[in-house]
């Protein structure tokens, strides 16, 4: 760590390291791992006190936990969407009944969530959603399609941005609905195979899925305001933990460069040094804006642009230093079995999506142009 800790913060950090060391290599499945984290009180550190089953922590303690988690190479999280996106949104916009119903299971690692935002034909234009929710006696009947839905195949619930006012356009007439995923015949999840051969995100089809009326967050018709608030929670403490993973990947690329002799190329050396320097700048920028994103509306977009491009360039560098061997897999490839990738190949292929998911580079630049620089807004058609 590069900043000081109070004695109680240092104790917190030691406790985090000890617990992770004892459990991170347990080989448990992802859902069991979430329950283990919840039982130990490590979910929801940034939430306020409210009797939800979480422990509270200072911002410094949250950073310590996130970075120690990343350094320990603990299992990937399945519950981060519920913990870091849904929960802050409910805390900001939900009523007391919604908080009491949904926050404790997230804190316990018992219920997993996915995000129903993007749609075919709309891309990153969130106001272009066409999924409709028709009001019924005790709730809504949801019909439509979402795409690029991360972890939908594991999720128990999905927060869905849907159009509840027929004939409405753009950001008008939208509502933020909480929809249970266990509705056979009404919800279908289809995995999307990625370049890496894995399927971490999905298409989700809603064919008359039911959402209870009390599971509308922020009130009917206020979905745009709630959805925009949620997007502001996507960056934060997790950015610093992400950079720990980036540093480990950069270290592997440097070791590969030395092993292959590519480090003798001055162009390669310059690129390696540039990647290291830019990673340091990203860390300093994250520390500068941590906990202060409300005062800097463009900070999340700047951070996304910085790390997405950096990570993509690192993937390109990872295969460059390997030379021709980068095209050879660690095992025989055949059409009959999924292909295997080594770390460098996976980094190269997966990072191609970094500048698209979570809001494409073009969308981030538009946000900065309009909300920070005050440039004229991009035409989006006639609003109703």
The DSSP output letter for 195 is T
* Marked catalytic residue, from 234, 296, 316, 370: 234
Instruction: Specify the DSSP element, H or E, that contains 38.
Output: helix 30-39
CA–CA distance, 32 with 79 (Å, rounded to integer): 11
CA–CA distance, 102 with 87 (Å, rounded to integer): 8
CA angle 369, 374, 380 (to 5 degrees): 65
Nearest to 304 by CA among 350, 239, 352: 239
The DSSP output letter for 197 is S
Nearest to 132 by CA among 228, 209, 219, 217: 209
Which residue's entry shows tokens 């979905």?
223
Length of the chain counted residue by residue:
384
CA–CA distance, 308 with 299 (Å, rounded to integer): 14
The DSSP output letter for 341 is -
Q: What are 18's two structure tokens?
A: 């000890």
Which residue's entry shows tokens 């009959």?
336
Nearest to 253 by CA among 315, 325, 329: 315
DSSP 178-190: EEES--TTTEEEE
What are the start-end ranges of the E strands in 83-238?
Answer: 113-116, 132-135, 139-150, 157-163, 174-180, 187-192, 201-212, 216-217
CA–CA distance, 340 with 191 (Å, rounded to integer): 18
Nearest to 328 by CA among 344, 316, 313: 344
Q: What are 23's two structure tokens?
A: 């459990």
Which residue's entry shows tokens 């129903």?
116
8 CB neighbour count, 10 Å cutoff: 11
Q: Is 234 noted as a catalytic residue in this protein?
A: yes
**Phi/psi of residue 104, nearest 5 degrees:** -60, -45
Q: Which residues are catalytic?
A: 234
């Amino acid at each position: 760590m590069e900043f000081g800790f109070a004695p109680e913060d240092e104790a917190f950090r030691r406790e985090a390291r000890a617990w992770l060391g004892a459990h991170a290599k347990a080989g448990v499945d992802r859902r069991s791992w979430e329950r283990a984290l919840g039982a130990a009180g490590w979910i929801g550190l940034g939430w306020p006190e409210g009797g939800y089953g979480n422990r509270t922590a200072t911002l410094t303690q949250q950073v310590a936990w996130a970075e120690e988690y990343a350094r320990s190479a603990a299992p990937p999280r399945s519950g981060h969407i519920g913990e870091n996106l849904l929960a802050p949104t409910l805390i900001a916009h939900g009523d007391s009944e919604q908080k009491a119903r949904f926050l404790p299971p997230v804190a316990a690692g018992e219920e997993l969530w996915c995000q129903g935002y993007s749609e075919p034909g709309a891309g990153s234009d969130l106001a272009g959603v066409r999924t409709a929710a028709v009001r019924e006696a005790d709730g809504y009947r949801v019909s439509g399609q979402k795409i690029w839905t991360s972890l939908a195949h594991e999720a128990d619930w999905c927060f869905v941005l849907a159009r509840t006012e027929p004939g409405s356009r753009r950001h008008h007439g939208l509502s933020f609905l909480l929809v249970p995923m266990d509705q056979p015949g009404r919800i279908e999840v289809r995995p999307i195979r990625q370049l890496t051969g894995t399927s971490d995100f999905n298409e989700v089809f809603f064919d008359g899925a039911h959402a209870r009326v009390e599971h509308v967050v922020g009130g009917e018709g206020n979905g745009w305001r709630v959805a925009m608030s949620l997007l502001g929670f996507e960056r934060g403490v997790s950015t610093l933990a992400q950079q720990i993973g980036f540093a480990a990947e950069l270290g592997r690329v440097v070791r590969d460069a030395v092993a292959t002799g590519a480090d003798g190329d001055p162009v390669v050396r310059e690129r390696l040094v540039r990647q290291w320097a830019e990673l340091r700048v990203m860390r300093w920028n994250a520390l500068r804006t941590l906990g202060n994103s409300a005062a800097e509306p463009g900070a999340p977009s700047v951070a996304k642009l910085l790390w997405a491009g950096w990570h993509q360039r690192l993937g390109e560098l990872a295969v460059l230093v390997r030379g021709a061997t980068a095209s050879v897999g660690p095992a025989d490839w055949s059409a009959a079995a999924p292909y295997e990738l080594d770390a460098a190949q996976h980094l190269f292929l997966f990072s191609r999506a970094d500048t698209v998911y979570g809001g494409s580079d073009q969308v981030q630049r538009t946000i900065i142009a309009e909300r920070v620089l005050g440039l004229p807004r991009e035409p989006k058609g006639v609003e109703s």
